[in-house]
Structure 1
Amino acid sequence: MGGTTDLAELTGAELADALAAGETTSVEATRACLDRIEALDGTLGSFLHVDAEGALAAAAEADERRSAASPASPLDGVPVAVKDLLCTVGQPTTAGSRILEGWVPPYDATVVTRLRRAGLPILGKTNLDEFAMGSSTEHSAYGPTRNPWDTERTPGGSGGGSAAAVAARLAPLAIGTDTGGSIRQPGALTGTVGVKPTYGGVSRYGIVAMASSLDQAGPVTRTVLDAALLHEVIGGHDPLDSTSIDAPVPPVVEAARRGDVAGLRIGVVKELGGEGFQSGVQARFEESVQLLTEAGATVVEVSCPSFAHALAAYYLVMPSEVSSNLARFDAMRYGLRVFPEGVDDPSAEQVMAATRDAGFGDEVKRRIILGTYALSSGYYDAYYGSAQKVRALVARDFGRAFEQADVLVSPTAPTTAFRMGEKLDDPLAMYLQDVATIPANLAGVPGLSLPAGLAEDGLPVGVQFLAPLQADDRLYNAAAALERLLLEKWGGPLLAPSATEEVSA
């Protein structure tokens, strides 16, 4: 490997240390990422748009600040990739949909504003299931993303682009969004760290809304410390977001550096494991729990009976909010506009119908129809109203569980990465991929997925940590401890095969 390519091997924290020590420059690090993107992403499909010119310009500015001993943040100059659901000035924001093809927003999402303010060069926008609807990143209108561990398999979804980019070391850091598991489930399937912060802990302003009461942006990284450093940059109160929590970011970086579970009460969720979970997934999870026990944690089993109904409730709440949010794509204000064939003087309703038919994919249409039905007169109480009651029960179960344990643990996803196309004709099977992650979104609690090893098929497995509202630091503390124990056991990090390909400088 050439010298610049070696920079892509560094984690975000290692690269930040190298920049601070003057051992390299942000321009060199950014070029190394761009070289890997050019060499590998034609196969992986993790990026929808690459902004080489903008990223190198931002990197040069970061180098100037470092030279003047005035870095904007600890991560100043460390490149980042952003899920194409976040608005970005100067770069297209498509949400993976034809209906927004080519749209360039006039403003930045608050998360993007904070990344720029902290000096992180934005490499580009990553691929996703259309409007974040999917668990495989096969529903993107611009083609699927492939898993760096096996390019015949999916990287999970909806944020498979961000997860694949980090796993293949096209970017040291990335931003994802998590509505029902779309950061954590891809993390499990690609061997990356994915964090869904407490709902309201990271601003949703400027994120194309899918389900407003569930959506949450968060970090996608290779290590727990990297996730904490990125979380610290993007978190905090935002007056532009009415759901934003007016409180400081929890001490996540301190917790990630501490990583001590001695005396910690860890609750194994009875309903999130066992039957229906792949044997290798369950085995790696049990080994992780054993390591935590040996490190001094007290492990107890907790029961959350309403979790059995969380998946069904989610798939009523989420499409109902989708139906409402996607009504704005009406061909009148922005995005795609299609005129119906054979109509000389079409009405606004006819143009809207033709545009939405051409612009939305099958999965988006499916969820709009489901949501509209659930909200319709005569069915609202039976479906949407009942789902909201289940949601309250899920939150109650979390509250009771956290009386017995400081953090909860479970497998992140029931299986390892599945083959491309395997579940496309069976939406219900696809939805089941989120069975362990959805409860956190319904209750708003934070969750983190950590690589826990490889299953019998040689593919990565994730273990999930869950913590009470605004106790995100507990996630980082417990996960950092397990991460250290696993690295000691493995003798080094797990690396996706395609991430080790040589790229000429």
Structure 2
Amino acid sequence: MTDLHRLSIREMTEGLNSAQFSSRELTQHYLNRIAHIDTQVHSYITVTAEQALAQADAADVVLKAGNASVLTGVPIAHKDIFCTQGIKTTAGSKILDNFISPYDATVVAKGKVAGLVTLGKVNMDEFAMGSTSENSFYGATANPWNLSHVPGGSSGGSAAAVAADLAPFATGTDTGGSIRQPASFCGLTGLKPTYGRVSRFGMIAYASSLDQGGPMARSAEDCAYLMNVMAGHDAKDSTSVEKDVDNYVTNLNATSVKGLRIGIPKQYFNVAGLDADVKARVEESLKKLEEMGATLVEIDLNMTESYVPTYYLIAPAEASSNLQRYDGVRYGYRCENPVDLTDLYKRSRSEGFGKEVQQRILIGTYALSAGYYDAYYVKAQKVRRLIQQDFLKAFESVDVIAAPSAPTTAYKIGANLSPTEMYLGDIYTLAVNLAGLPAINAPVGFDQNNLPVGLQLIGNYWSESQLLSVVHQYQQATDWHTKRAAIAEENA
């Protein structure tokens, strides 16, 4: 029973349903690992051990009665951006350090209905603003592959928890790459669904037209199991799309790699900051897909240079609007002894928000201010439409588009990259959110420092099944997704 964390989600469900082990045993196994290992990784903000064991016991009753759903009794970690009833929900920020949510996010509620057991809430960049998980009030999370490096962000806690085998899978959110980039840095599979595919109700907002929840796990198959829970229309979310949802698990072999047309944007492989090892591993993975029957087609994505400036006008503008609600009045952090209402607002926000969040609020407020709205925000929205059209034109001749997920492997903790360097690190992921497209990261090898490299596949709208299927077949032919960091091999 010491190696339960090495099981796939499918193997866990089979073991639970055949009574090889109980949900309590499985849950306790993960709680022991968290207690033993997470002092080094710091992936969790809140561990809900008592509640998890109670949920596991309830799951065991259902399993014994033969009334279990597919995932009944399987543990999960939730990014601390999803509201959880009765459990602290912080979004990685001091301003929400005392916030106990009175309700569950739809994603969390669906997980409960499916019988999932919540291990706890995992760390993240404050309000999902960042690419390293260092911008957290609760301190930095470490990359399990090398504890002196970051796990990526903003879903770095989710990625680190799964990579260290402190949870079998986890929820993440992706506003500009925050599922795909940490999945790349930590050697995982991570799916950013089409905008509107997963409910945003109860998911603390950063940039409402860009945010989307998705699964993070070791393999495409594991992600498919969680997507079956997360996906679907939600009347509580006005941006949720009423569209039939696939069974992502049964569709894992529905798309044949043979004959698949993979677009290779020449602009993406000529980016100045693209690391040689990353480029080599991505090209090797594409060659493998070609050997499996795919066709590589060179394409043009002419708007590539517009991704970063467009995103970093629209996202901060929406953040400026969304974060107005944190005023020290209704909930969250309140400064001590304010002299008047203005002092309450100013000090509660300046003391409660971290540097990166304040910086993005200021940028966004400037872009929305009188005299600059048309020159910046409106123009960025027009360019956003051109970026979308660029992709749609490409999909007329290809089925999916391939790219690195990030131009480098994981940075060192404390590297203190400038904002420009940090933002340029998102060059390959931002456009997917601007266009609302789905995309997936798959691990495809390591650099010379044994840090993981990720391949990103971008699909047309609603093609999550296709992306999961292609990566699943790639993972049947390779073993990169099975590799584990040394810390993950430790037994609690």
Say whether the fold is shared (TM-score over 0.5).
Answer: yes
Residue type of the alignment partner of 1:161: G
The percent identity for this pair of structures is 48
Query: Is residue 208 of structure 2 the alignment partner of residue 212 of structure 1?
Result: yes
Query: Is residue 430 of structure 2 the alignment partner of residue 433 of structure 1?
Result: no
Distance 1:210 1:404, change over 3 A: same
1:82-481 matched pairs, under 5 angstroms: 82-258=78-254, 260-274=256-270, 275-339=272-336, 346-424=339-417, 426-481=418-473
| Aligned mates of 2:144, 2:129 — CA distance in 1 | 21
Q: Any unmatched runs of 5+ in structure 1? A: none
SS in structure 1 opposite 2:252? helix
Residue type of the alignment partner of 1:208: I
SS in structure 2 opposite 1:479? helix
User: Which of 494, 497, 500 is residue 489 of structure 2 equivalent to?
Assistant: 500
SS in structure 1 opposite 2:382? helix
Hey, what does 1:57 align to over in structure 2? 54
Offset of residue 102 of structure 1:
2.0
Contact conserved, 2:255 with 2:466, CA < 8 A, in 1? no
Number of residue pairs aligned between Structure 1 and Structure 2: 491
Offset of residue 207 of structure 1:
0.6
Contact conserved, 1:423 with 1:429, CA < 8 A, in 2? no
Hey, what does 1:484 align to over in structure 2? 476
SS in structure 2 opposite 1:253? coil
Hey, what does 2:75 align to over in structure 1? 79
SS in structure 1 opposite 2:234? coil
Offset of residue 167 of structure 1:
0.2
Contact conserved, 1:259 with 1:480, CA < 8 A, in 2? no
Residue type of the alignment partner of 1:31: Q
Offset of residue 259 of structure 1:
6.0
Contact conserved, 2:177 with 2:429, CA < 8 A, in 1? yes
| Aligned mates of 1:252, 1:284 — CA distance in 2 | 27
| Aligned mates of 2:354, 2:42 — CA distance in 1 | 19
| Aligned mates of 1:43, 1:258 — CA distance in 2 | 41
Greater CA drift, 270-279 or 215-224: 270-279
Offset of residue 243 of structure 1:
0.3
Render the CA deviation track for 1:75-101: whole Å, top value 9, x for unaligned.
111100000000001210011000011
Contact conserved, 1:130 with 1:140, CA < 8 A, in 2? yes
SS in structure 2 opposite 1:254? coil
TM-score for both structures, normalised by structure 1:
0.95
Hey, what does 1:37 align to over in structure 2? 34
Residue type of the alignment partner of 2:88: P
Residue type of the alignment partner of 2:201: Y
TM-score for both structures, normalised by structure 2:
0.98
Contact conserved, 1:259 with 1:476, CA < 8 A, in 2? no
Offset of residue 175 of structure 1:
0.3
| Aligned mates of 2:172, 2:379 — CA distance in 1 | 30
Hey, what does 2:23 align to over in structure 1? 26
SS in structure 2 opposite 1:368? helix
| Aligned mates of 1:276, 1:484 — CA distance in 2 | 31
Offset of residue 257 of structure 1:
4.2
| Aligned mates of 1:500, 1:76 — CA distance in 2 | 26
Offset of residue 423 of structure 1:
3.1
| Aligned mates of 1:20, 1:319 — CA distance in 2 | 47
Render the CA deviation track for 1:471-498: whole Å, top value 9, x for unaligned.
11111111112112222xx6x8211121
Residue type of the alignment partner of 2:367: A
Greater CA drift, 295-304 or 322-331: 295-304
| Aligned mates of 2:392, 2:246 — CA distance in 1 | 19
| Aligned mates of 2:371, 2:250 — CA distance in 1 | 51
Offset of residue 269 of structure 1:
2.0
Contact conserved, 2:262 with 2:401, CA < 8 A, in 1? yes
Greater CA drift, 401-410 or 476-485: 476-485
Offset of residue 247 of structure 1:
0.9
